Structure 1
Amino acid sequence: MTLIFLSVASACKKNQQRDFPLVSFDQYIYLNNPSNIELQSPGGAVYFNGGYRGLIIFRRYGNNQVDDFAAFDRACPKHYSEDCSQLELSDDRVFAECPCHGEKYLLFDGSPGEGATISMVEYRCTFDGAVIRARN
């Protein structure tokens, strides 16, 4: 009985894994840099180097914490190997959209939106009051 349970549990775990390239990076984003001015307000987002196809750094809102930032890979999680799969920010900065196939992802938490079935790839992100550190 235990062997059957372990086999089923192992199979479930394999199905949850992503086939997404693992990259190593460690980037620092300075809030006082004029190119990062959007990050000084909740809901602001900027593109940055790092990750597989670049990063989207997003300042979350709604939880009343000034240090809540997210770092998402710009590669579409479903079509990451396609040249056109670099996610783009919507004009209202609510979604990231795949220009290849039109899937949308909610920037607040990377969850799948219109046409998408899996979440964006999110990296570790910390904030010390002046510098955001995004890394894998």
Structure 2
Amino acid sequence: MCKLWALCALLLLFTTACNNSNGIGPRIPEVFVDEQISVNSQLYPGLRQDGGYAYINGGYKGILIVRQNASQYLAFERACPYDPTASCSQVEVDPSNLFIVDDCCGSQFNMQGNVTGGPSVYGLQQYRTALSGSLLYISN
């Protein structure tokens, strides 16, 4: 019984010692996301080709949409997970169109939102997407 109590106390100590109780990294302030765009719109020419992208308003600091293929789109919060509340923290696609970067902290992410370099250890926050015809719905 005493060993079980000690194990439980130790586990409690480890879980409360973390600076984030849910284990997902720095908290990006939660905002309601319910956006829809036409992927065929003249406003988003990058969404007409695989690997293309577009920025839209919404989310906490904006939303980055990346086209994987004609039927799959990914949507990411533009706040960098390293320090999301920093005034300069906003990711963008590098001019090479090969990766996503936050020039504020230097973190880099691949086009699927996974961290590949810099101080961030967490990937980009991803929103749900659903494609119906040419309408892309983005939500959280």
- Unpaired runs of 5+ in structure 1? none
8 Å Cα contact 1:67/1:129 also seen in 2: no
- Tell me whether 1:112 sits opposite 2:115 in the alignment: yes
Letter in 2 for 1:124: R
Taking structure 1 as the reference length, the TM-score comes to 0.84
- The count of corresponding residues between Structure 1 and Structure 2 is 131
- What is residue 24 of structure 1 aligned with on the other side? 32
Deviations 1:60-107 (A, max 9, x none): 15xxxx311100001111111111111121112221111111111112
In structure 2, which of residues 119, 133, 138 is the aligned counterpart of residue 134 of structure 1? Answer: 138
Deviations 1:17-65 (A, max 9, x none): 332211102111112210112111110001001111000000115xxxx
- What is residue 60 of structure 1 aligned with on the other side? 68
Alpha-carbon separation, structure 2, partners of 1:111 and 1:20: 16
Alpha-carbon separation, structure 1, partners of 2:35 and 2:5: 45
Alpha-carbon separation, structure 2, partners of 1:68 and 1:123: 13
In the TM superposition, residue 14 of structure 1 has moved relative to its aligned partner by 2.7
8 Å Cα contact 2:35/2:137 also seen in 1: yes
- Tell me whether 1:46 sits opposite 2:54 in the alignment: yes
- Unpaired runs of 5+ in structure 2? none
> Residues 96-107 of structure 1 correspond to what in structure 2 (within 5 A)?
96-107=100-111
Q: Work out the percentage of aligned pairs sharing the same amino acid.
A: 28
Alpha-carbon separation, structure 1, partners of 2:73 and 2:6: 42
The 4+ residue runs of structure 1 with deviation greater than 4 A are 1-5
